[in-house]
Amino acid sequence: MAYNFTAIEKKWQQYWRENKTFAALEPADAGDMPKAYVLDMFPYPSGAGLHTGHVENYTATDIVARLMRMRGVNVLHPTGWDAFGLPAEQYAIKTNRHPREMLAGNIDNFRRQIQMLGMSYDWDREIDTTAPEYYKWTQWIFLQLFNSYFDPTDQKARPIEHLVNELFNENLVVAPDGEVKVNPVQEGMERISGEVRVERLWRELSADEQRDVIDGQRLAYMDEVPVNWCPGLGTVLANEEVIDGKSEVGGFPVERRPMRQWMLRITAYAERLIKDLELLEWPESLKDMQRNWIGKSVGAEVDFEIAPESIAAAGARGYAQDSEPQPPRVPRAAGEVDADDLVITVFTTRPDTLYGATYMVLAPEHPLVDRIASQPHRETIESYRKQVAGKSERDRMADTKEKTGAFTGAYAINPVNDERIPIYIADYVLMGYGTGAIMAVPAHDERDYAFATKFDLPIKPVVRPANGEAPQGRAFTDEGIAINSPLIDGLPTADAKDRITAALSREGNAYRSVNYKLRDWLFSRQRYWGEPFPILLDKNGNATAIAEGELPLALPQMEDFKPTGTPEPPLSKARDWIRVSRDGQEFTRETNTMPQWAGSCWYYLRFCDPKNDKWFCDPAKERYWMPVDLYVGGVEHAVLHLLYARFWHKVLFDLGHVSTPEPFLRLVNQGLILGEMEFHVFETEAGEPVSAADIRDMAEEATEQGISVYAFHKQTGARLKGRRVSEEDVEQTKQGFRLKANLEILADGRSFKMSKSRGNVANPDDLVRDYGADALRLYVMYMGPLEAQKPWNTRDIIGMVRFLNAVWRNLVGEEEEEDRGPGFGVRGPGEGDGGASPSSPDTGNPIPDTRSSPDTRHPKPETRITGSPIPDALDRMMNRTIKKVGEDTAALRFNTAIAELIKLNNEMTRLAEIPRDLAETFTLMLAPYAPHAAEEIWARLGHTKTLARRPWPEYDPAKLAESTLELPVQVNGKLRDKITVPADADEATILQAAQSAPGVQQWVAGKEFKKRLYVPKKLVNFVVG
Partner RNA sequence: GGCCUCGUGGCGGAAUUGGCAGACGCAGUGGAUUCAAAAUCCACCGCCCUCACGGGCGUAUCGGUUCGACUCCGAUCGAGGCCACCA
Contact set for RNA, span 788-807 (CB under 7 A): 788-791, 793, 795-796, 798-800, 802-803, 805-806
Residue pair 474/449 in contact (Cβ under 8 Å)? The answer is: yes
For RNA, which stretch binds (CB under 7 A), given 329-337, 397-405, 453-461, 503-511?
397-405
User: From the list 974, 1005, 1006, 1008, which residue makes contact with RNA (rule: CB under 7 A)?
Assistant: 974
User: From the list 29, 32, 154, 284, which residue makes contact with RNA (rule: CB under 7 A)?
Assistant: 284
CB of 181 to RNA, least distance (A): 23
H or E segment and range at residue 119: none
CB of 745 to RNA, least distance (A): 5
Site string for RNA, 191-220 (x = CB under 7 A): ------------------------------
DSSP string, 575-640: HHHHEEEETTEEEEE---B--THHHHTTHHHHTTSTT-SSSSS-HHHHHHHPSBSEEEE-GGGTTT
465 near RNA, judged by CB under 7 A: no
Compute φ and ψ for 314, nearest 5 degrees: -85, -5
For RNA, which stretch binds (CB under 7 A), given 379-387, 592-600, 830-838, 1017-1025?
1017-1025
CB of 886 to RNA, least distance (A): 11
CB of 573 to RNA, least distance (A): 34
972 near RNA, judged by CB under 7 A: yes
Distant-in-sequence, close-in-space partners of 821: CB < 8 Å, separation ≥ 6: 852
How far is 894 from 668, CA to CA, in rounded Å?
14
Residue pair 526/584 in contact (Cβ under 8 Å)? The answer is: no
How far is 343 from 766, CA to CA, in rounded Å?
69
281 near RNA, judged by CB under 7 A: no
The 10 Å CB-count burial string (b at 16+, else e) for 455-468 is bebebbbbbeeeee
94 near RNA, judged by CB under 7 A: no
349 near RNA, judged by CB under 7 A: yes
CB of 692 to RNA, least distance (A): 13
CB of 875 to RNA, least distance (A): 19
436 near RNA, judged by CB under 7 A: yes
Q: Give the 3-state secondary structure of 854-920.
A: CCCCCCCCCCCEECCCCCHHHHHHHHHHHHHHHHHHHCCCHHHHHHHHHHHHHHHHHCCCEEHHHHH
Binders of RNA among residues 354 to 373 (CB under 7 A) are 363
The 10 Å CB-count burial string (b at 16+, else e) for 866-898 is eeeebeeebbbbbbbbbbbbbebbeebbbbebb
117 near RNA, judged by CB under 7 A: no
Between strands 865-866 and 914-915, the pairing is parallel
Site string for RNA, 903-942 (x = CB under 7 A): x--x--xx--------------------------------
902 near RNA, judged by CB under 7 A: yes
Compute φ and ψ for 739, nearest 5 degrees: -60, -45
* Residue (23 or 745) nearer to RNA, CB: 745
Residue pair 263/256 in contact (Cβ under 8 Å)? The answer is: no
Report how far apart, in Å, the C-alpha atoms of 618 and of each of 132, 598, 611, 622, 625 are. Answer: 18, 20, 10, 6, 11
* Residue (348 or 591) nearer to RNA, CB: 348
**Per rule CB under 7 A, count of chain residues that contact RNA:** 99
The 10 Å CB-count burial string (b at 16+, else e) for 607-631 is bbbbeeeeebbeeebbebbbbbbbb
How far is 361 from 388, CA to CA, in rounded Å?
15
CB of 841 to RNA, least distance (A): 33
* Residue (52 or 515) nearer to RNA, CB: 515
User: From the list 367, 567, 785, 942, which residue makes contact with RNA (rule: CB under 7 A)?
Assistant: 785
CB of 638 to RNA, least distance (A): 7
* Residue (935 or 977) nearer to RNA, CB: 977
CB of 874 to RNA, least distance (A): 15
How far is 46 from 756, CA to CA, in rounded Å?
14
CB of 223 to RNA, least distance (A): 18
6 near RNA, judged by CB under 7 A: no
Closest CA to 411 of 309, 302, 319: 309
Binders of RNA among residues 250 to 279 (CB under 7 A) are none
Between strands 420-425 and 359-362, the pairing is parallel
632 near RNA, judged by CB under 7 A: no
Within 241-306, residue ranges assigned H as helices are: 270-275, 284-294
H or E segment and range at residue 506: helix 493-506
User: From the list 377, 649, 884, 916, which residue makes contact with RNA (rule: CB under 7 A)?
Assistant: 884
Binders of RNA among residues 491 to 530 (CB under 7 A) are 515, 517
How far is 414 from 487, CA to CA, in rounded Å?
14
Please name the amino acid found at residue 792.
W
* Residue (200 or 1012) nearer to RNA, CB: 1012
CB of 813 to RNA, least distance (A): 13
Residue 627 preceded by cis peptide, ω within 30: yes
CB of 195 to RNA, least distance (A): 19
Closest CA to 995 of 1017, 1024, 1022: 1022
User: From the list 111, 680, 734, 978, which residue makes contact with RNA (rule: CB under 7 A)?
Assistant: 978
Binders of RNA among residues 696 to 755 (CB under 7 A) are 719, 721-723, 738, 741-742, 744-745
User: From the list 165, 186, 292, 585, which residue makes contact with RNA (rule: CB under 7 A)?
Assistant: 292
641 near RNA, judged by CB under 7 A: no
User: From the list 639, 645, 919, 997, which residue makes contact with RNA (rule: CB under 7 A)?
Assistant: 639
* Residue (174 or 901) nearer to RNA, CB: 901
CB of 741 to RNA, least distance (A): 4
Residue pair 322/371 in contact (Cβ under 8 Å)? The answer is: no
Closest CA to 770 of 794, 741, 803: 794
CB of 762 to RNA, least distance (A): 14
* Residue (266 or 948) nearer to RNA, CB: 266
Closest CA to 926 of 872, 957, 889: 889
User: From the list 48, 185, 189, 243, which residue makes contact with RNA (rule: CB under 7 A)?
Assistant: 243
Site string for RNA, 663-692 (x = CB under 7 A): --------------x---------------
